[in-house]
Amino acid sequence: MLFSTRIASMFFAIALIGLGIIHFLLGDFVAGRAPSWPEGIPGKMIWAYTSGVILIVAAIAIFSNQKTRLAVTCAGVMILFWAGGRNLVALLTSLDYGGLLTNTGKALTIGSGALLIASTFKGAIASKDAVIPRLVRGIPWQTASVLIGLFFLASGIQHFLFIDFVKTLVPRWIPGDVFWSYVAGVGLIAAGIALITGFQRKLAAFISSWMVFIWFLILHLPRGFGETGSFNEWIAIFESLAVSAILAIIYWKEKDSAP
């Protein structure tokens, strides 16, 4: 998936399709792990189906290269506001450094990543003074890099804080679950710092893209198809694929900007 931005974008599209289908199956908004639908307010199913359609349409636009910037930008804005924004408010209110912090990082990463991928496609999506073009230009690849870097940094620290849980994620056929959990934590922290500061960002994006893609193959896919298989595991499958694709885009952006 690192061979080109086009291939990485197609992997991201597959992730969007998967998340969109789960919207229909669960009847809920799952992209970016948004908080629960507000109680007492009707329209949950309508929003779940509508948002699922938006994600799938964005994926189709990536594959067909038609109206791609508009469709993918809409998907990214939706994830940023409905999942990222609401998670961020809840995080700042509760100061939860566990699951809520993770969900916030995922939402900001995937939402900004969608805008980053939208910016890689050519073609105007409206007049030059319109809101959407300004929004796409306002999320450069460096911004997406910082957001995913913050997510990685927090996740790496969580590996040390919640080692008893993290070690259960290591496949049983791999010995030394605690050791590999700490190694992954160090890797996430190092990658996060590089992605945030820009120091060795290209190398960090390259290594972490393949790192997450390997986790997609040996961790998330087996868990999705295995005894622990659940909608939560399948959401994680598509999230890991999306994050790996975003990192690949960052790698190519950094590579192309090098003197």
Residue 126 confidence (pLDDT) above 50: no
Residue 119's pLDDT is 87
> Poorest-confidence range of 26-30, 214-218, 252-256?
252-256
Digit-coded pLDDT (tens) for 233-244: 999 999 999 999
In this prediction, residue 141 has a pLDDT band, given cuts at 50, 70 and 90, of low
CA dihedral defined by 234, 211, 255, 150, rounded to 10 degrees? 70
In this prediction, residue 226 has a pLDDT band, given cuts at 50, 70 and 90, of confident
Please state the pTM of the whole predicted model. Answer: 0.90
Helices (H), 79-225: 86-94, 99-119, 131-138, 141-161, 163-166, 177-197, 201-215, 221-225
Residue 227's pLDDT is 72
DSSP state of 187: H
For 136, the 3-state DSSP assignment is helix
Tell me the angle at which helices 177-197 and 201-215 cross, rounded to the nearest 10 degrees: 140
Q: Are 55 and 5 in contact (CB under 8 A)?
A: no
Q: For the chain, what is the mean pLDDT? A: 89
Cα distance between residue 212 and residue 22, in whole Å:
21
Residue 114's pLDDT is 95
Q: Nearest-CA neighbor of 79 among 15, 29, 7? A: 29
